[in-house]
Copies of this chain bind each other. A is one copy, B any other.
């Protein structure tokens, strides 16, 4: 959380943006959450903590967090955008259970190299991976 904050501050400064109180509250909520969250999760968490930030500000702040590399958009669930921590987390792929909605994370290393090769073939510079598959999890297979 220390490093995240430093990085954020750095990023904002480089963009001539200010590390205001709402932006700080949002940062803290993001990293107090477990890895996957959506805007409502943040909003509720902040309220639960007796703080207050408007939804508008959350919506405005998320792109900053994404651009700074701290989080990234990962999936959609129930027609809401879902984000996840990026900083300090290995890339990974998602297996999403189409029955119960469970998200399973799985390794990535081996896959990454391959995909990079494919990208190179197309002269494409990857900024952000988006790898997953839908299907049935262990429990729902029966």
Contacts and interface: CB of A to CB of B under 8 A. Distances in A.
Given A76-B76, A124-B138, A133 B130 contact: yes
Given A130-B133, A132-B131, A95 B124 contact: yes
A93 B111 CA distance: 12
Interface residues of A, number: 33
A20 interface: no
A63 to B, nearest CB: 13
Given A127-B134, A135-B128, A136-B127, A115 B111 contact: yes
Contact of A141 (B115, B125, B133, B137): B125
Nearest to A129: B133
Most buried by B among A106, A118, A132, A133: A133
B135 A115 contact: no
Nearest to A134: B128
Interface in A84-99: 93, 95, 97-98
A21 interface: no
A122 interface: yes
A1 interface: no
Interface of A: 76, 93, 95, 97-98, 104, 106-107, 110-111, 114-115, 118-119, 121-138, 141
